[in-house]
Amino acid sequence: MERQEKKISTMTMTFMCFSTLWGFGNVLNGYVYFNGVQVIIPWICMFLLYFIPYALMVGELGSAFKHLGGGVTSWIQETSNAKLAYYAGWTYWAVHIAYIAGKGSGGLKALSWIIFRNADIYDNFKTIYVQLATIAILFFFCWMATRGLSPLKKLGALAGSSMFIMGILFIIMMYAAPVINPNSAFLKQDYSFASLLPKVDKNFLSNLSILVFAVGGIEKISPYVNKMNGDPAKEFPKTIMLSTLMVVISAIFGTIAMGMMFDVAEINANFDSYAANGAYWAFQKLGEYYHVGNLFLIIYALCNMIGQFSTLLISIDAPLRMLLEDPNANKFIPRKLLKKNDKGAYTRGIIMVACLSGLIAVVQMFGPGAATVMRQLTKLGGVTMPLRYLWVFVAYIALKKNRGELERGYSFIKNKGFGIFAGAWCFIITLACCIMGMWSPDKVQMGLNIATPAIIVILGLLLPIIRKSEDKKILA
């Protein structure tokens, strides 16, 4: 007798969505980059106008192509053609180049907090030495990836779960702190509508990509849409609404908790330091409120360090395998990149990762300090990582336009025209935020923001040409 597959309850799915989407870093980045509590209104707008339709589109795609496991490349293949599927796979891999560069720096920053318990020592190191150390870390983990080793993956999953739990505990403990320690100095904020209304200027528009990046990635849960209890057409929208409500509550109450700690004027006066160290200062202050010294800081920094380094290893290996092992995408990849070593690792692909991510670290060697490097990488990630979401909306538009006959347990929008409009709306928002995010008063930052996507596009166009030339030589 065949064993019946266990179904996922609505609440379980809700927590899966929430943990996939949210983390403490999102609260900090919103507070730092959007003038403190003024981020509350942008958060609400981003969830209502972008995240909810985005998530419901993902649900329909996952339901329509349940046999494919939810891969964006496969969605593109099924709704359009193999060439576009290659570009989707390439984009998903290529945007991780900047992400990988940031993970090395993030891991070193966490390690410095574990050792020194302050921001000053690490931030005052000469940038060239910090970047040389970052490059050494990058090359070491690239070497580990070539050996087919992944000892940090399970530890990284545990650290990631711990980080998620600590982010929730931070909010709860921060609200309890005035009761536990009423003599500590807590800041008061003005929550009138006039004070919360953000000023829409170049800085505001250029930072929107950070919010887009924060709420993206929901396509990871798409394979589970048809595995829910009851009718997915009813249960999945309920899940999205519940998880959105949880994230909004976390964003707003987390922002208010930050407002009790950090003065916006001080943040703006020392922006790079707060962007790089704000999370550590938050847990350090929380430890002071509860009279446990640096205990919370050390736990947070340790979890963050393990998480950063394990994510670095996974990000070198996993996206590369997804690209090179996909039968639709690898037809456009030069044959030399498809070669494996005796451990099953794509060594030449890993060398390409090391060169491209290392190039970003080299460019940053001449920056003014380690804190500035971290800020530049956060902004660069906000510009490049959301580019992969564009293919979700391309797939949804193509689904509505070309594959309307497909049966699915859940459908976000049944009307073809309105469905195409919704996909185009989210596509335009994502692309506009990424383009606006490229602007920066920092010339190095702006150069990285423009050059990195440009290199991604150029390489993505060149590789099929090289493969075509290789195939012609073989046929000749």
pLDDT tens-place values along the chain, 476 residues long: 444 556 788 888 888 788 777 888 899 999 999 999 999 999 999 999 999 999 889 888 887 887 765 478 888 988 888 899 999 989 989 999 988 988 999 999 999 999 999 999 999 889 999 999 999 999 999 998 888 665 556 666 677 678 888 888 999 999 999 998 888 889 998 999 999 999 999 999 999 999 999 988 887 777 677 778 888 777 888 888 888 888 888 999 999 999 999 999 999 999 999 999 999 999 999 999 999 999 999 999 998 998 888 888 888 888 888 888 878 788 999 999 998 888 888 999 999 999 999 999 999 998 888 899 999 999 999 999 999 999 999 999 999 998 777 777 778 888 899 999 999 999 999 999 999 999 999 999 999 999 999 999 999 999 999 999 999 988 87
Residue 217 to residues 42, 192, 222, 265, 456, Cα–Cα distance (Å): 19, 33, 10, 33, 20
Burial class (CB in 10 A: 0-12, 13-18, 19+), 33: buried
pLDDT score, position 408 = 75
pLDDT of amino acid 70: 45
36 Rama sector, left if φ>0, alpha if ψ -120 to 50, beta otherwise = left
Identify the pLDDT of residue 156. Answer: 64
DSSP reduced 3-state for 170:
helix
Distance CA 458, CA 124 (A): 37
171: Cβ contacts below 8 Å, ≥ 6 apart: 250, 253, 254, 257
Cβ atoms of 93 and 322 within 8 Å: the answer is yes
Write down the pLDDT at residue 368: 85
DSSP E strand stretches across 113-211: none
Look over the chain and give the mean of its residue pLDDT values, rounded to a whole number: 89
Residue reference for tokens 């070669």: 339
Residue range 198-216, pLDDT digits in tens: 999 999 999 999 999 998 8
| Rounded distance between C-alpha atoms, residue 188 and residue 261, angstroms | 9
- Kindly list the distances between the CA atom of residue 89 and the CA atoms of 71, 179, 323, 327, in Å, as whole numbers in the listed order: 9, 51, 5, 11
Using DSSP's 3-state secondary structure scheme, residue 119 falls into coil
* Contact yes or no for 364/394 (Cβ under 8 A): no
Contact assessment for residue 426 and residue 358, using Cβ atoms and an 8 Å cutoff: no
If you search the block for the tokens 């709306």, which residue do you land on?
425
Q: What single-letter DSSP state applies at residue 409?
A: S
Helix/strand/coil for 144: helix
What is the C-alpha separation between 38 and 203, in angstroms, rounded?
Answer: 13
- Cα–Cα distance measured from residue 201 to residue 198, given in angstroms and rounded to the nearest whole number: 9
Q: What pLDDT is recorded for position 90?
A: 92
Its CATH class, for the domain covering 28-473, is mainly alpha
Rounded distance, CA 107 to CA 169, Å?
Answer: 22
What CA–CA distance (Å, rounded) separates 111 from 73? Answer: 36
Burial class (CB in 10 A: 0-12, 13-18, 19+), 360: buried
This prediction has a pTM of: 0.90
Question: Which pLDDT value is given to residue 1?
Answer: 40
- The count of other CB atoms within 10 Å of the CB of residue 322 is 16
SS3 69: coil
What is d(CA 453, CA 379) in angstroms, rounded to the nearest whole number? 13
Helix 52-64 vs helix 416-436: crossing angle, to nearest 10:
120
Q: What is the pLDDT of residues 351-402, one digit of tens each?
A: 999 999 999 999 999 888 889 999 999 999 999 999 999 999 999 999 999 8
443 CB-contact burial (10 Å; exposed 0-12 / middle 13-18 / buried 19+):
exposed
Q: What is the pLDDT of residue 2?
A: 42
**In angstroms, rounded to a whole number, what is the distance separating the alpha carbons of residues 70 and 77?**
12
Q: Which amino acid makes up residue 234?
A: K
DSSP classification of residue 228: B
Q: What angle do CA 90, 91, 95 make, to 5 degrees?
A: 120
The whole-angstrom separation of Cα 134 and Cα 337 is: 25
